[in-house]
Structure 1
Amino acid sequence: MRVEKDVTNDLTRLSATEMMRGLANRLFSSTELVKAHLLRIEEVNPKLNAVAYRRYEHALKEAEAADHLRLLSKTDPSTLPRLLGMPITVKEMYRIEGLPITGGVHKHRNRLATEDAAVVSRIKAAGAIVLAKTNMSTLTMAHETDNVLFGRTNHPLNPLHTPGGSSGGEAALISTFASPWGIGSDLGGSTRLPAHFCGIVGIRPTYGRISSVGEYPAYSHHLHMNSVGVLARNVQDTQVLYEVLSDHHISPLVPREIPIKWLAQTDKAPIDEELALGMEQLIRAMRDSGLAIESVEGRFLASATALWQNVILQDRGQETITEIQEGSSFHLFSELMKSKRGTSVYHKWILRLLLGARLFPPSEQAIRSFPRQIERLREKFREITEDRGVLLTPLYPTASPRHGKVAHYVYNNMGSRVLPYLVFVNVLGYPGIAVPIGRTKAGFPFGIQVVGGAGQEQVVFAVAKAIEEIAKFI
């Protein structure tokens, strides 16, 4: 069955919810929908470099099977899987049986997954069809998307700019209508930062809400900071995929009954004037709509970046070395020099991470204090949000910068200037969602963040939907 280009554009520009409705009403087939997205991927990927591995033949066969099942179930469509025939993309870190699972590491370039990750099993059981695995940073350990196996992923609006990371491949494809939604991860903003840079929605749920079994890497010393991430082009689509992955139904809430607090910026991480004005305009519009929003100071975020960094570096990089090392020995400074010459099999950013782990490891006393510091931050958050509300914050001080700019801050020990709004959520282990609200004069999108308490995804989604609706009119 041939899909013309204009039909491709019509189908791929639907929301995921509209696609599901169209499939249910037989306005188009899953085969047509999948083919349309495959054509779109091939159209945009040469510029983006967002795809790590294609799964096209399997996807087309699964689409035909979905169409056949829908035809057989004509009398009782309610018995069909919720996502039957829906295309989706998945970050390279999640195992898909028969496909490589590398984490962007040269050592694992030929390793194949022998089973599906939990999130992949769940979406397959719901009837979704995986089109491709998407690019990421090495071992998810950078806020941009680049590695020695697949290279650098570019921003959809300008190839000189970054889509963010580490789930940048997902965000780039979704924002260009090459995928309706996808699965990422979030250790330090890896879902929310690409969503902010690319103008889509991305949530990191409460730690443990979605099973991470079968992800690679899986660092035990990262505690509760990493979470499966969900990305889509609007809040409703994000909620649908979240519900499937978490088996947690989101009931509607009235935003006016939710305490909403607004943290405009911290002194150490000032926000670009254009973004600050856009967010203040949104806050005024929200207040004008009848929502009570109280402004709060950001001093409680002062220690969040250092705490997040110390948790990651507490093993002095040993687990990372174990994962990437080829041969009987590993010499960091030698590899750093080889990296500058372009002859190392290790990416420069993972080497810079290891250098930081060697130069700035937390002391044993600091490591013992982690539980106390984390609980103190949680207590302050609960106090600010009245234990049932949300905190609105920026996501990052700027819209998408040029490649290397985010990594420059992080790997030169200046993360506190750019990361506190992202990583305090990971330190908490709580849900945070990025919602697009505007564009800069140069055309780059930017968003705002909604953070809720542990297990309070319902509150987060309710406020995110209100923001999305209000942002349409400002």
Structure 2
Amino acid sequence: MKELSVGGSASPVHAWGLAEIVRRIRAGEVSSREVTAAFVARCEAVEPRIHALTTPLYEQSLAEADQADRRQAQGETLGRLHGAPFTLKECFAAAGLPATIGLTNRTSAIDAEDGPLVRIVREQGGILLGKTNVPQLMIWHECDNPVYGRTNNPWNLDRTPGGSSGGEAALIGAGGSPWGLGGDLGGSIRIPAHFCGIQGIKPTNLRLPRRGGVETLRGMRAMEYQPGPLARRVEDLQLALEVLCSVPPEPREQAPPALGDFRAVQVAGLRVGYWVDDGVFPASPAIRRAVEQSADVLRQAGVEVEPFQPPQPDEALAVYLGIMGADGGAGFRRLAHGSRLDPRIKRLMRITQIPRWLRPSLAWVLQLAGQDWQGRLLTSVQPRTTDEYWRLCYRMTAYVRQFFAALDAGRFDAMLFPPHALPAFPHGDGIDLLPAASYSFLANLLGVPAGTVAVTRVADDEQTGRPASRDRVLDLARKCDQGSAGLPVSVQIGARHWREDVVLALMHALEQQGESRADYPSVERLAISEWRRDDDR
């Protein structure tokens, strides 16, 4: 495919970020039609291999681009995203489109209007290219369902792009979209961004409204699902957040503090606590190297970076999983009633129905057989009484206080740590490897803003190092490292509540240094001509 370069740029249009697109359209260097057509062409080139789009809107997007160009020619006031394409995680409401979350019983449920976040993006001139794929029920870190099939990672088609915003990450990572809207309750923005070599941020809990899409854990408010952007560059995340933050808060909720601009943050002098191992699930060699190298980069930028160990990591994971599974899967079963289920979801549903009285004995047998992780998960994720649920909420509050007391003791402004214990894993391993996402769960439990920034790729000599294990989960992690050379690797930045600007400032410092490296996962280094053709969804 001939790569379209316009407006005097040496880079193809599909490698441009959102902020660059907006600047060039406003300056008259390029038309919205040219930009949108370039991304449509890129989608048509990559979609037969990655299968990220669920609802392509190519003709509609080109017509909207023409309208945007006419408005600009007539001198009309332009929105902040005028003429720039974007994509949308399938769960968000967009007028005239389905939001199935991979359930066959929802394919005829068409949204009558845009949700508030989608509406504001369109009002500001954004052009919707289409919706992107999710895992069924959005509860695991892969991207596969009986409605739309499987999405593949653009860096290795045999690996997952992650989930639940996996379709977004895969398409942006492949150059099919400059940015998109995702959501995060357990790493669902940050993990796919890490797996696909792009940038993503989960804002502070309650920063953005939840309404305007399909909610899975309906009524669960101990931890808040947060929408957020995925994009090519950090400046794109800033621009997207500025637009998204103009939506009014949820009813009965206090308006959050104003969003800061990362460019106004003085990075030098910030104090950052970092860790390469959370004490729950050991990180792969490439992940550990990425964190250590990033710590050095930040030190060179004048940041004070010192070791920090999160307190009681096992307690954090137990509380997170306990709250997430406190209804025993009842909410998921209601949503999925009458739908064709993915085999892995069927397995999860069977596990949720194991009687409580039997779980301790089964866990003991599993652990006796060397399946420690499966035993731990069996007792962590189970139906709870109201009293037990309230106790979990109290433990969460106590843990958050303990964590920030430790952070205060170190006088830390922010944190640097892995986004996940692994690079992108092979298709089908997502449910078993759930504990490896403990690094991302932490920010959801604490409610803080956290983002992932791509910094490197797995080196040839980083594919081994984990010992063989009887434990199926740990052995899958060992096998995941094998054959992972070339996969993207990110690091995670977290900060205190409402300090998205600090997160983005530190991400930007790492991005600036990383983009010059030969091992940086740039879309321009992605050779789609070498992909095998894979039309099996």
TM-score, normalization by structure 2: 0.79
Query: Structure 2 residue aligned with 1:179, among 170, 177, 180?
Result: 177
> Which of the residues 413, 420, 440 maps onto 1:396?
420
Of 425, 446, 451, the residue aligned with 1:428 is: 446
Deviations 1:431-472 (A, max 9, x none): 110011111121111111111122121221122112222334
Shift of 1:4: 6.5
Match of 1:383 in 2: 405
Task: Identify unmatched segments of 5+ residues in structure 2.
Answer: 247-257, 355-380, 460-484, 518-537
Report if aligned partners of 2:310, 2:403 keep a CA contact under 8 Å in 1: no
Q: CA deviation at 1:306?
A: 2.1
Identical positions, percent: 31
- The structure 2 residue matched to 1:363, chosen from 380, 384, 397, is 384
Match in the other structure for 1:46: 48
The letter of the residue matching 1:250 is: G
Counterpart Cα distance in 2 of 1:353 and 1:306? 18
Residue from 280, 303, 310 that aligns with 2:292: 280
Residue 388 of structure 1 deviates from its aligned partner by 6.6
Residue among 375, 387, 394 paired with 1:372: 394
Matched with 2:226 is: 227
| Matching residue of 1:331 | none
1:32 alignment partner in structure 2: 34
Q: Does the 8 Å contact 1:225/1:428 carry over to 2? A: no
Conservation of the 8 A alpha-carbon contact between 2:151 and 2:161: yes
1:252-279 Cα offsets, whole Å, 9 max, x none, are 1111232211122123311112321232
**Paired residues for 1:72-471 under 5 Å:** 72-73=74-75, 79-218=77-216, 219-221=218-220, 223-247=222-246, 248-251=258-261, 252-326=264-338, 345-359=340-354, 360-364=381-385, 365-386=387-408, 389-410=413-434, 415=435, 418-441=436-459, 442-471=485-514
TM-superposed deviation, 1:191: 0.5
Counterpart residue identity of residue 494, structure 2: V
Alpha-carbon distance between aligned partners in 2 of 1:357 and 1:229, rounded to the nearest angstrom: 30
Structure-2 separation of matches of 1:393 and 1:59: 39
Q: Deviations over 1:278-311 (max 9, x none)?
A: 3212212322332111101234322222222221
**How big is the shift at 1:368?**
1.5
1: distance between equivalents of 2:66 and 2:4?
Answer: 22
State how far apart, in whole Å, the 1-side matches of 2:222 and 2:48 are. Answer: 37
Q: Distance in 1 between matches of 2:300 and 2:66?
A: 50
Unaligned 5+ segments in structure 1 are: 327-343
* CA contact 2:273–2:412 (8 Å) conserved in 1: no
Distance in 2, Cα, partners of 1:80 & 1:172: 30
C-alpha separation in 2, matches of 1:53 and 1:223: 33
Contact 2:291 2:417 in 1 (8 A): no
> 1:22 aligned to 2:24?
yes
Partner residue in 2 for 1:340? none
Please report how far the alpha carbon of residue 430 of structure 1 lies from its aligned counterpart in structure 2 after TM superposition.
Answer: 1.6
- Please give the alpha-carbon distance, in whole angstroms, between the structure 2 residues aligned to 1:22 and 1:279: 35
- Structure 1 residues 388 and 243: CA distance shift in structure 2, 3 A: farther
Provide closer, same or farther for how the CA distance between residues 356 and 454 of structure 1 changes in structure 2, counting only shifts above 3 A: farther
The separation in 2 between residues aligned to 1:158 and 1:290, in whole angstroms, is: 36
Q: CA deviation at 1:348?
A: 2.1
CA distance in 2, matches of 1:425, 1:358: 29
* CA distance 1:264–1:104, change in 2 (3 Å): same
Conserved 8 A contact 2:453-2:490: yes
Match of residue 479 from structure 2:
none
Deviations 1:155-192 (A, max 9, x none): 10221111111111000110111100000111110100
State the Cα distance separating 1:354 from its structure 2 match.
2.4
* Match of residue 57 from structure 2: 55
- Using the TM superposition, give the Cα deviation of residue 362 of structure 1 relative to its aligned residue in structure 2, in angstroms: 4.5
Contact 1:98 1:114 in 2 (8 A): yes
Deviations 1:101-147 (A, max 9, x none): 21110101121111111111110111100000000011211111011
Amino acid at match of 1:315: D
**Alpha-carbon deviations, 1:182-215, whole Å to 9, x = none?**
0011111010000011111011101121122111
Q: Would you say the 8 A contact 2:183–2:225 is kept in 1?
A: yes
Which letter maps to 1:433? G
The whole-number CA distance in structure 2 between the counterparts of 1:292 and 1:473 is: 23
Structure-2 separation of matches of 1:249 and 1:70: 29
State the distance in 1 between where 2:512 and 2:30 align: 28
Could you tell me how far apart the structure 1 residues matched to 2:5 and 2:276 are? 43
- The question of whether the paired residues in 2 share the 8 Å contact of 1:385 and 1:391 is answered with no
Residue 403 of structure 1 and its aligned partner are, at CA, apart by: 0.9
**RMSD over equivalenced CA pairs, Å:** 1.9
Give the CA deviation at 1:363. 3.4
Q: 1:84 to 1:6 in 2, by over 3 A?
A: closer
